[in-house]
A and B are shown apart, each in its own frame.
Chain A
Amino acid sequence: MAKNRTRVGRALIWLFVIAAAVAGLNLYAVQTEDGSWNPKLALDLEGGTQIMLAPLTEEGTSVSSEQLQQAVGIMRQRVNASGVSEAEITTQGGQNIVVSIPGTPDQATRERLMASAKMEFRSVLVMAAAGPAQQPVDPSATGDPAETDPAVSDPAQSDPAESEPAESGEGGGSEIATETEEPTDEPTESDPAPSEPAEQPEPENPSDPAWVTEDLANEFAAFTCDMVDRTKPMPSDEAVVTCDTDNTVKYILGPVEVEGADIADANAGQVPTQQGIPTGEWAVNLEFNGEGSEAFHSVTQRITSLEQPRNQFAVVLDNTVLIAPQSNVVISNGQARITGGYTQEGAEALADQLKFGALPIGFQVQSEENISPRLGESQLMGGLIAGLIGLILVVIYSLFQYRLLGLVTVASLVVAAGLTYLVITLLSSVQGYRLSLAGVTGLMVAIGITADSFIVYFERVRDELRDGKMLINAVESGWQRAVRTILASDAINFLAAAVLYLLAVGNVRGFAFTLGVTTVIDFVVVALFTHPVLQMLARTKFFGGGHPWSGLNPDALGAVYRGRAQFRKPEASGKRAKSAKEATRRQTIAERKKVSAQERED
């Protein structure tokens, strides 16, 4: 018995150690990071907006998880840089990005997220001021250096004169300075514009005005910037009509010539002088990969000599023109510099956006959900009230079925609930897990499955008592049998939770997660709490003596009526057994007591 007692004590100590370890880890998280003693709530309980983005891939291709991670990193930077610090951006299911923002995101934040689409370079064919209310931007008129039209230039040449504003009154152009080893033999704006053929059925090159058909010209004339559809990718081999991101300028653009994926790198830096001394003017340095360099070379070679605005090329992000710098020089080595009177922030933001273009993934909104805090709160309250009602009903039923033994069920459920709370809180502190409504539902369902372990166990103990064992022994042998069943069934449940968690997306994961956690906790509690407690109780007079209210009364369980030898006997087949059974059933209790007393004497 003494040995038994130490084992009981040890199990309870283990349970305490586990709970303390989880609590300790959480305490550490609270002290060092932004841990908390309350689980974080998901949007559907807290209120906010959740946007699920799916990569827009070409058919037959898929996105690697590294690419997705990279996209998430850049999105996070962007959104957080804009001050929405609580935005949470995560990948889900290996194929989706989930953006969670408290409250309703403003238009700017939304656009920043939505802008995470495919980037492409197209030649500018026609450019005009857009929108009825929009004032045409005239950089030379405003005289604001920040408004200076960007230009592409060769970083090696680093000629500050390159940043001259475009002549066009419409604005929106930029200049590109390119890095060429050999000096360009085609000076900017020197070549006369090629004569425009009136009607050309087949455009010869992407800058050919023949792209602008009559239909397209009409469309352009009627086009307003609110007609830009950011969700559908534009045809890549046709001329398209679109606006810049400020909705101030509209463009007709040629077909795609360079893909954003061909950008190797983009970063912001100060324009150096020939001696390498920074001038204080900010620019974005753009670097292409091999394929991109070639394509970009041919673009600059063709357009640098053209007239305004066809010497500009547009960097199109999410179907809108991010910038449309004019090309000042032919760039053959894939290294370009975009200048245009940028501030440091402006240059960095642009570089980030260009870098994002290096990811050949576009994203589309798959689902967007906006939950008001009030609805979230009422959902949480509803879930908690439902849980409380359910728990009370379970307690009442347990006490009804198992008398005072039901209290062990209740105590075990309380311990399981406490452990679950600690684990969820810890995971929320460390892993950023958020409890969703589906997760709460998983917890409610877990009440039933956890209680089932106790029921299986108690029923086995009762079975052992029915076989005439003493309670202390019945608890041990009942446990031996029950633990196998509990392990096997919990394993199936855990398997389901694990498979669902790994393979499913969205709410399904939140649900699977809590189901898995509670399944593990269920086993821990039944092994380290319920069983030891029952072992202890078995030694008390109340339970060990089989008090009628203990729920483990051998008399009530029928143990007295038959000896162990009779186990399964009544099941013997044949009519004889059946009639014997019938006879037994018709006996009065007094008769049966007499019979069994006789049997015991035998």
Chain B
Amino acid sequence: MSITQFGNKLYTGEKSYPFVGKRKTWFTIAAVIMLICIVGTLVRGGFQLGIEFTGGSEFRVSGIQTDGGPVDIEPAEAILEQHVDENDYIVSNLGQDGLRIESSSVDDDQTNAIKDQIASEYGVESGDVTSSHIGPSWGQDVSNQGLRALLIFIALAALVMALYFRTWKMSVAALVALGFDMVVTAGVYGIVGFEVTPAALIGFLTIMAYSLYDTVVVFDKIRENTAPGSSGSYDENINLAVNQTLMRSINTSVVALLPVASILFIGAFVLGAGTLRDIALALLIGMFVGTWSTIFIAAPFYAQLRKGESIATESKRKQERGAVV
């Protein structure tokens, strides 16, 4: 069966997946996944925060000449030893020809001293050693502002959706799916132990937008299928809408994930740890989860909210309300 034919069958309803019918199963799966994410993060002892949140200094060296193989980190450790306490620094490899050093806060003079020492030790120009210093409140400020932006966005988005779809139930369903996305994406960071950086936070915020975006596309089809005058029940029509937009969901996620995956690939294997990798990772997980949650949570949850209602009475009610106004 070709993909086009598969699409045809989904459209006619000839082939139909019980997204709505088996909703209890999907909800259970979602609940289990969320539980794993929360418990897993707690067991691991919370999130691994980057220096942006804890405060500290970071050095990066690039362009070190090596005879193949990764850069030897021991000389760098010896240098750091002279400036900070033993447990206050981490030296790690950055790609094939780089190093990344995280340490507790060092002052300007020490920063310059470390830079010079590292540069001469590894035979690079002093300018090729980059440094950053972050006060302990910086990450806190960024995340507080990010959180505030997120809450305002969610409130506004819920309002916009309620107005556009003319029902608050769709907003609720979309937000439930959004909550799932947030927990799972954060959970992956918590369980795997990826560092939470402001870049990861950006990725996280984008996921929120993408998740709602995806939900709106599918809900718009549901709106069409359950418009006043449609035959059949809410359950049937919602399920049909999800199936009819399934091809689009698959195509869109593939198309959206391809660039993100290539960013992640380049970011992780060529550039090493950094903004690109952090954002791409959050996006990759989040976009996948966002698409999943639209199909398996948002739509079935909307059906759940509409349980016991029929399109016919609803449209009649709306007509009456319209007549009064």
Contact = CB atoms under 8 A, between A and B. Distances in A.
Interface in A495-533: 495-497, 499-500, 502-508, 511-512, 515
A601 to B, nearest CB: 20
Contacts of B167: none
A52 B138 contact: yes
Interface in A351-379: 364-375, 378-379
A386 B205 contact: no
A375 B98 CA distance: 10
Interface string A473-511: 000000001001100110111011101101111111001
A570 B243 CA distance: 13
Nearest to A441: B279
A438 B13 contact: no
A386 B267 contact: yes
B220 interface: yes
Interface stretch (A14-22, A144-152, A246-254, A444-452): A444-452
A366 B262 contact: no
A245 to B, nearest CB: 16
B104 to A, nearest CB: 15
B220 to A, nearest CB: 4
Contacts of A386: 259, 262-263, 265-267, 276
B27 to A, nearest CB: 22
A463 B244 contact: yes
A385 to B, nearest CB: 6
Interface stretch (B69-77, B145-153, B184-192, B313-321): B145-153
B276 A387 contact: no
B275 A438 contact: yes
Contact of B13 (A44, A437, A570): A570
A348 to B, nearest CB: 28
Given A374-B63, A389-B266, A584-B14, A379 B276 contact: yes
Contact of B202 (A226, A375, A389, A438): A438
A462 interface: yes
A573 B236 contact: yes
Interface in A400-439: 401, 437-438
Contacts of A508: 142, 145-146, 149, 198, 201-202, 205
Contacts of A511: 202, 206, 279
Contacts of B265: 386, 389
B42 to A, nearest CB: 27
A393 B134 contact: no
Secondary structure type dominating chain B contacts:
helix
A393 B189 CA distance: 27
A571 interface: yes
B135 A507 contact: no
B233 interface: yes
Contacts, number: 280
B259 A571 contact: no
Interface in A72-108: 93, 95, 103-104
Contacts of A504: 142, 145-146, 149, 205
A372 B138 contact: no
B9 to A, nearest CB: 8
A54 interface: yes
A495 B216 contact: no
B275 A503 contact: no
A499 B149 contact: yes
A336 B257 CA distance: 67
Contacts of B156: 495, 499
A481 B224 contact: yes
A558 interface: yes
B62 A375 contact: yes
A383 interface: yes
Name, among A110, A372, A385, the residue most crowded by chain B CB atoms within 10 Å (CB to CB): A372
Given A390-B263, A448-B258, A503 B135 contact: no
Nearest to B60: A375
Given A393-B262, A504-B146, A373 B254 contact: no
B205 A448 contact: no
A391 B298 CA distance: 30
Secondary structure type dominating chain A contacts:
helix
Contacts of B62: 372, 374-375, 378
B141 A505 contact: yes
A452 B255 contact: yes
B130 interface: yes
Contacts of A398: 255
Interface in B135-175: 135, 137-138, 141-142, 145-146, 148-149, 152-153, 156-157, 160-161, 164
B127 interface: yes
Contact of B209 (A452, A456, A492, A566): A492
A221 interface: no
B210 A466 contact: no
A483 B137 CA distance: 45
B229 interface: no
Interface in A534-584: 556-558, 561-562, 566-568, 570-573, 581, 584
Nearest to B16: A571
A398 B258 CA distance: 12
Contacts of B236: 571, 573
Nearest to B216: A489
Interface stretch (B30-38, B85-93, B245-253): B245-253
Contacts of B66: none
A555 to B, nearest CB: 10
A492 B157 contact: yes
Contact of B275 (A441, A445, A561): A441
B179 interface: no
A492 B258 contact: no
A423 to B, nearest CB: 19
A364 B127 CA distance: 25
B260 interface: yes
B232 A366 contact: no
Nearest to B153: A499
B114 to A, nearest CB: 12
Contact of A456 (B8, B11, B248, B274): B248
Contacts of B137: 54, 366
Contacts of A445: 206, 210, 256, 259-260, 283
A497 B263 contact: no
Contacts of B224: 481
Contact of B240 (A371, A375, A382, A571): A571
Nearest to B259: A390
Name, among A54, A496, A561, A581, the residue most crowded by chain B CB atoms within 10 Å (CB to CB): A496
B132 interface: yes
A401 B206 contact: no
Given A389-B266, A451-B256, A459 B247 contact: yes
Nearest to A442: B206
B29 interface: no
Contacts of A447: 255-256, 259
Nearest to B257: A448
B145 A374 contact: no
A455 interface: yes
Given A382-B267, A497-B209, A568-B232, A44 B275 contact: yes
Given A365-B135, A386-B263, 12 more contacts: A393-B259, A438-B275, A441-B202, A444-B263, A445-B256, A451-B252, A481-B224, A491-B164, A499-B152, A508-B198, A508-B202, A570-B13
Interface of A: 44, 52, 54, 93, 95, 103-104, 110, 226, 364-375, 378-379, 382-383, 385-387, 389-391, 393-394, 397-398, 401, 437-438, 441-442, 444-445, 447-449, 451-452, 455-456, 459, 462-463, 466, 481, 484-485, 488-489, 491-493, 495-497, 499-500, 502-508, 511-512, 515, 556-558, 561-562, 566-568, 570-573, 581, 584-585
User: Which 8 A-B pairs have CB atoms at the shortest separation, nearest pair first?
Assistant: A448-B256, A390-B259, A496-B209, A558-B8, A571-B13, A503-B149, A369-B132, A386-B266
17 contacts: A54-B141, A364-B135, A365-B133, A366-B134, A389-B266, A397-B255, A442-B206, A444-B262, A445-B210, A445-B283, A452-B252, A488-B164, A492-B161, A493-B209, A504-B146, A566-B12, A568-B232
